[in-house]
Chain A
Amino acid sequence: MKGCLFNIDSGYLEGLCRGFKCGILKQADYLNLVQCETLEDLKLHLQGTDYGAFLANEPSPLAVSTIDNKLREKLVIEFQHMRNQAVEPLSTFLDFITYSYMIDNIILLITGTLHQRPIGELIPKCHPLGSFEQMEAIHVASTPAELYNAVLVDTPLAPFFVDCISEQDLDEMNIEIIRNTLYKAYLEAFYAFCKEIGGTTADCMCENLAFEADRRAIIITINSFGTELSKDDRAKLYPRCGKLNPDGLAALVRAEDYEQVKAVAEYYAEYSKLFEGAGSNPGDKTLEDKFFEHEVRLNVHAFLQQFHFGVFYSYLKLKEQECRNIVWIAECVAQKHRAKIDNYIPIF
């Protein structure tokens, strides 16, 4: 996709996205936030940032969940504005981004129904970007086959579900397997779509998606130690669009503890760096934090290039990380437990 033709359809949206990106909180803002004594202080400080008076109409006392919801609401409004203005192929690209939230919502609803929670209590917990028409009627399904035939077949997630259809009842184990199988199919489809677009978008997005795939493979492996998940089943859950495919994945299948996983990662330069200094010792960062940091770095690099769709994906991910950071700090402030308040992931 030549740069000169990009602006005809997507110039306004890329400009808008970069404008939003400039409003992401800087290190100075975080230094101010960690000095807050109460949530009211937090609210006052956020008024001076791009968030503005978003908490103005909330009655005091504030709760952390209110802040979380309002932060997410602002992000959703921005994303939906961009989605409404987009044309092909950007509109399909943005839709692909929302499919991951749809998968999360479906799994949340099914798990909640399994634990006999009323559907009315679960719906507000769903992510607004991933809502679709049939979502609220999902509790009619008790097996994956029913889930597909009744609900998912009309949604864009239908092609991802083909590998999951079975007549077994939905229970804890199956739900996790369904989640990971859905996500694997989604990730591979997204990767293929970006490759098809080509150009800078493919360069940027395939880098991000490959890291996501590898990260999931490693996390699935580590989390499956000590569970009933067999090695063959585990192999079926690994997304194949990352750098670990095929040798790394084959080695991961054979791995049986954390050290072996680390040994596999040694063969790949970027991943071996992430395992250094990660662990459960005090003063170490957790492996998840290291993954988050690497992801943030990749997303920030996306903005160094112009005329590609990766900026939209990266903006969304960075904003989400910012929401997680603010909520973390808010929790520490609200509970007056300031020991780990600096454990947020700095972005800029």
Chain B
Amino acid sequence: MGDMFRSEQMVLSQLFIQPEAAYFAISELGESGIVQFRDLNEDVNVFQRKFVNEVRRCNEMERKLRYIEAEVKKDNVPIPDVSELPKAPNPREIIDLEAHLEKTEGDIKELSESAINLKSNSLELTELKHVLEKTQAFFNEQDEVNGLDSAHKALITEDAHNISIRGRLGFVAGVINRERVPAFERMLWRISRGNVFLRQVEIGTPLEDPATRNQLYKTVFVAFFQGEQLKTRIKKVCAGFHASLYACPSSLQERNEMLKGVCTRLEDLNLVLNQTQDHRQRVLVRSNGDVNQGMELGEYAETHPNSTQVHHEGEEEEEEPLSEIFIHQAIHTIEYVLSTISHTASYLRLWALSLAHAQLSEVLWTMLFSMGLKNSSYVGAVTTFVFFAAWALFTIAILVTMEGLSAFLHTLRLHWVEFMSKFYEGLGYPFQPFSFKALLEEETKPEE
């Protein structure tokens, strides 16, 4: 039964390995997972240890793998779950893997960049389309105000007059993130001293940002103003708030033509985008296999800098002079005898507790309850009732709760201090074997 509380039998051993064989030896040990390594070179800096270059190469490869894994996850390409872990690669395979990884990383980077470019173009065209569609209402209003709508058109015949009216108000049209609209509006109002007129309408569907893939809600705005100097300042403010400006023609006919052109361009662009996405998927699926195998590489980085340590226990013996041994043993004996006596005497506290308990109950009985029982008949009934309440309250508070806690505390202390100090040390640390399986599980766990 006592075996349940004891630790496993362990053996401390030292391995001397030839550098050429080091790699294979450690990979075997990692597969089996029964050895924990101890760091002998604790004082040495990390970057002055023997295998530091290999560690650096592994770190570089790990970084590339993480990048590839992130891209694979972004596109929701499923990484096939390998039930059986592949064996650790040998040194020649690692060099091949390194070159392969570099090429894959370069490919994926290029593909990502071109995808982002295409997406930005698509986003611009989509925004332009929204601008052309939604600003229709604003320009209609302006035309009404200027008396140029269909109802009035026939009545005004002077062309020069038309042109001068239309040229009265300049405008810039563009798209801005919805959250920035209030501050944007306020700043436009301030820099123009109230001479800028802003109309806005929200775009219902969110648009995808090419770089971060976040869904953003945007608003189409048109800012009407008078004068050219104001235009440069408005443009500066737009640039500051990351609003994209689009050249929107002021006449209805031009706008419709532009809208048609934009729609066709958008369709073409979507086609190209889809093809690029397919190609990217294919590249990512191919690199999946490497991801699994390469994860194991990380573990080599940790073991290489360490050299393992072992020395057989009991082989170190120093010569001690005989008198010293006697003195040490004498001191040890005196300490042991004294502590035995004092610890045993410590158990007398249990007697003290029981005495205290007895006296307290005696006090509560004579001072409280008996007083209540002194009277008889109806008066006695009432006093008994009252005194019982008080007696019960004090009994529960003091004798049950407080004394109960006290008894529990003292017995626990006797157990932990007076009993366990005879043999129990409480030293020891959990065994963490160097095992590839355990390390891989640890890496995949936080991602879930």
Q: Does A154 contact B (CB under 8 A)?
A: yes
Q: Does A87 contact B (CB under 8 A)?
A: no
Q: Does A66 contact B (CB under 8 A)?
A: no
Q: Does B66 contact A (CB under 8 A)?
A: yes
On whether A151 and B45 interact (CB within 8 A), knowing A137-B237, A140-B237, the answer reads no
* Main SS at interface, chain B: helix
Q: Which of A37, A56, A133 contacts B183 (CB 8 A)?
A: A133
Contacts of A47 in B (CB 8 A): 46
A59 x B190 contact (CB < 8 A): no
A140 x B60 contact (CB < 8 A): no
On whether A133 and B67 interact (CB within 8 A), knowing A119-B240, A150-B191, the answer reads no
On whether A56 and B191 interact (CB within 8 A), knowing A48-B46, A137-B240, A154-B186, the answer reads no
Q: Which of A35, A40, A119, A136 contacts B45 (CB 8 A)?
A: A35
Q: Does B420 contact A (CB under 8 A)?
A: no
Within 8 A of A (CB), among B21-36: none
A40, A136, A138, A140: which has the most chain B beta carbons within 10 Å? A140
Q: Mark B235-261, 1 if CB is under 8 A from A, else 0.
A: 011011110000000000000000000
Within 8 A of B (CB), among A30-61: 32, 35-37, 40-41, 44-45, 47-48, 56-57, 59-60
Q: Does A92 contact B (CB under 8 A)?
A: no
A136 x B187 contact (CB < 8 A): no
Q: Does A260 contact B (CB under 8 A)?
A: no
Q: Mark A125-157, 1 if CB is under 8 A from B, else 0.
A: 000000001111111100000100111011000
On whether A140 and B183 interact (CB within 8 A), knowing A40-B47, A45-B47, the answer reads no
Contacts of A59 in B (CB 8 A): 63
B241 x A137 contact (CB < 8 A): yes
Q: Mark A53-76, 1 if CB is under 8 A from B, else 0.
A: 000110110000000000000000
Within 8 A of A (CB), among B200-256: 233, 236-237, 239-242
A137 x B187 contact (CB < 8 A): yes
Contacts of A36 in B (CB 8 A): 47
Q: Does B178 contact A (CB under 8 A)?
A: no
Contacts of A37 in B (CB 8 A): 47
A136 x B63 contact (CB < 8 A): no
A140 x B56 contact (CB < 8 A): no
Q: Which of A60, A146, A154 contacts B60 (CB 8 A)?
A: A60
- Nearest CB in chain B: distance from A49 CB, A: 11
Contacts of B180 in A (CB 8 A): 133
Contacts of B233 in A (CB 8 A): 140
Q: Report how far A48 CA is from B44 CA in the complex, Å.
A: 13
Closest chain A residue to B242, Cβ basis: A136
A151 x B187 contact (CB < 8 A): yes
Q: Report how far A154 CA is from B187 CA in the complex, Å.
A: 9
Within 8 A of A (CB), among B180-199: 180, 183, 186-187, 190-191
Please classify how large the interface on chain A is, using the bins under 10, 10 to 19, 20 to 34, 35 or more. 20 to 34
Q: Report how far A134 CA is from B241 CA in the complex, Å.
A: 8
Contacts of A151 in B (CB 8 A): 187
Q: Report how far A137 CA is from B242 CA in the complex, Å.
A: 9
Q: Report how far A44 CA is from B301 CA in the complex, Å.
A: 12
Q: Report how far A44 CA is from B242 CA in the complex, Å.
A: 39
B183 x A57 contact (CB < 8 A): no
Q: Report how far A153 CA is from B67 CA in the complex, Å.
A: 44
A56 x B63 contact (CB < 8 A): yes
The number of residues on chain B lying at the interface, defined by a beta carbon within 8 Å of a beta carbon of chain A, is 23
Q: Report how far A140 CA is from B237 CA in the complex, Å.
A: 7
On whether A139 and B45 interact (CB within 8 A), knowing A57-B66, A57-B67, A151-B187, the answer reads no
Closest chain B residue to A149, Cβ basis: B190
Q: Report how far A140 CA is from B188 CA in the complex, Å.
A: 11
Q: Which of B46, B56, B239 contacts A45 (CB 8 A)?
A: B46
Within 8 A of A (CB), among B46-86: 46-47, 52, 56, 59-60, 63, 66-67
On whether A137 and B236 interact (CB within 8 A), knowing A56-B63, A150-B190, the answer reads yes
Contacts of B242 in A (CB 8 A): 136
On whether A32 and B63 interact (CB within 8 A), knowing A134-B183, A150-B191, A154-B186, the answer reads no
Q: Report how far A222 CA is from B191 CA in the complex, Å.
A: 39
B45, B67, B183: which has the most chain A beta carbons within 10 Å? B45
Contacts of A146 in B (CB 8 A): 191
- Nearest CB in chain A: distance from B211 CB, A: 15
Contacts of A44 in B (CB 8 A): 46-47, 52, 56
A139 x B183 contact (CB < 8 A): no
Contacts of B52 in A (CB 8 A): 44
Contacts of A45 in B (CB 8 A): 45-47
Contacts of A137 in B (CB 8 A): 187, 236-237, 239-241
Contacts of B45 in A (CB 8 A): 32, 35, 41, 45
Q: Report how far A296 CA is from B237 CA in the complex, Å.
A: 41
Q: Report how far A90 CA is from B214 CA in the complex, Å.
A: 33
A139 x B60 contact (CB < 8 A): no
- Nearest CB in chain A: distance from B269 CB, A: 26
Q: Which of A41, A57, A60, A136 contacts B240 (CB 8 A)?
A: A136
Q: Which of B63, B187, B236, B241 contacts A139 (CB 8 A)?
A: B236
- Nearest CB in chain B: distance from A220 CB, A: 32
A150 x B187 contact (CB < 8 A): yes
Contacts of A135 in B (CB 8 A): 240
A134 x B187 contact (CB < 8 A): yes
Q: Report how far A166 CA is from B183 CA in the complex, Å.
A: 25
Contacts of B239 in A (CB 8 A): 119, 136-137
- Nearest CB in chain B: distance from A22 CB, A: 21
- Nearest CB in chain A: distance from B400 CB, A: 32
A154 x B183 contact (CB < 8 A): yes
Q: Report how far A40 CA is from B53 CA in the complex, Å.
A: 11
A40 x B190 contact (CB < 8 A): no
Q: Report how far A45 CA is from B46 CA in the complex, Å.
A: 6
On whether A140 and B236 interact (CB within 8 A), knowing A57-B66, A134-B187, A149-B190, the answer reads yes
Closest chain A residue to B60, Cβ basis: A60
Contacts of A150 in B (CB 8 A): 187, 190-191
Closest chain B residue to A33, Cβ basis: B45
Contacts of B60 in A (CB 8 A): 60
On whether A41 and B236 interact (CB within 8 A), knowing A134-B183, A137-B241, the answer reads no
Q: Could you show 6 A-B contacts with beta carbons less than 8 Å apart?
A: A35-B45, A56-B63, A57-B66, A134-B183, A150-B190, A154-B186
Closest 10 A/B residue pairs (Cβ) = A137-B240, A136-B240, A41-B47, A140-B236, A44-B47, A150-B191, A150-B190, A137-B237, A133-B183, A44-B46
Chain A residues in the interface with B (C-beta under 8 A): 32, 35-37, 40-41, 44-45, 47-48, 56-57, 59-60, 119, 133-140, 146, 149-151, 153-154
15 additional contacts (CB under 8 A) given A133-B180, A134-B240, A139-B240: A35-B45, A45-B47, A47-B46, A48-B46, A134-B187, A137-B239, A137-B240, A137-B241, A140-B233, A140-B236, A149-B191, A150-B187, A150-B190, A153-B190, A154-B186
